[in-house]
Amino acid sequence: MDERNRGRLTKDGIRIYEEADFAGMRAAGKLAAEILDGVAPLVQPGTTTETLDDWITKAVEDAGAVSATIGYKGYKHASCISVNHVVCHGIPAGKVLKDGDILNIDVTVIVDGWFGDTSRMYVAGKLSRKTERLIQITHDALFKGIEAVKPGNTFGDIGNAIQSYVEAERMSVVRDFCGHGLGRVFHAPPNVLHYGRAGSGPVLEEGMFFTIEPMVNLGRPETKVLADDWTAVTRDKSLSAQFEHSVGVTATGCEIFTLSPAGKFHPTWD
Ligand code: MF3
Ligand code: CO
Ligand code: CO
């Protein structure tokens, strides 16, 4: 059997994994989170995003794992690093970080065939008040979404929890990118929207594995993709933040596979 076809599919084409499969996701998620912990001290004014990506590439190799992004649709790096008004899919490069720059680092690893996908926000140097609030609201929005994950709720409940929280804070939720099912593959059904109506969308079932990865802008939600075909930026050049966890639906709620072993999943960790 092709191992990627394990379990069964719902009528919406969402794979239902078995209890034993949670162990595979736990290992992959843990490594991805450890890498995000480990890179944190390197995020400083004066360094480049390429330097950060080189460290990540080596950390994946040293762990005996495989990067899910190197070679994915022609992408060449072990991480996406999205600085300031870059919403997502920023390509690591030689540009030097300056004091006050905020960045999302997104890492996906494959461990024994299981995918662990997670991202968080970092700051080079000092965080301004306004920017700290953007990051805090984005982080808390992800957890509002995670709190809505339990059997019987719908994917629309997740999106609605995120959107209503963010918009009450007068920030906006990006519509152009979404979370996704994952497991033995990187991107699978469903599209996990970070906005929507309560009660809409497929019903959550125990054994579903997916990411929640809201992108929140200080200004308007519209994005555009640059000529490199990857880098997505805010059209109004306002700052953008994102956090991502990989989760599995349990009988009573969910397990977060990508929690930081060091408890660092937050911009103000030190
Ligand atoms: N990790 C991203 C996600 O959250 C996908 C990156 S694909 C890449 O789904 F090719 F840009 F790396
Ligand atoms: Co993802
Ligand atoms: Co990701």
User: Which of 117, 215, 245 to probe ligand 1 with, by most ligand atoms within 8 A of CB?
Assistant: 117
pLDDT of residue 4: 82
99 Cα to the center of ligand 3, angstroms:
25
**CA gap 203, 253 in Å, rounded:** 13
CA–centroid distance, residue 209 to ligand 3 (Å): 14
Q: What is the pLDDT of residue 266?
A: 66
Structure tokens at 224: 């555009």
Phi, psi for residue 135 in degrees, rounded to 5: -70, -45
Three-state SS for 262? coil
Q: Are 251 and 206 in contact (CB under 8 A)?
A: yes
pTM of the model: 0.97
3-state secondary structure of 159: helix
Task: Say how far apart CA 65 and CA 62 lie, in whole Å.
Answer: 8
> Which residues of the chain are under the pLDDT cut of 70?
1, 266-270
* Ligand 1 contacts CB of residue 108 (under 6 A): yes
Query: Rounded to 5 degrees, what are φ and ψ at 259?
Result: -65, 145
pLDDT of residue 88: 99
Tokens of 19: 């209890």
pLDDT at 268: 58
CA of 90 to the centre of ligand 1 (A): 10
Tokens (6 digits) for 120? 């968080």
Encoded tokens for 102: 């905020």
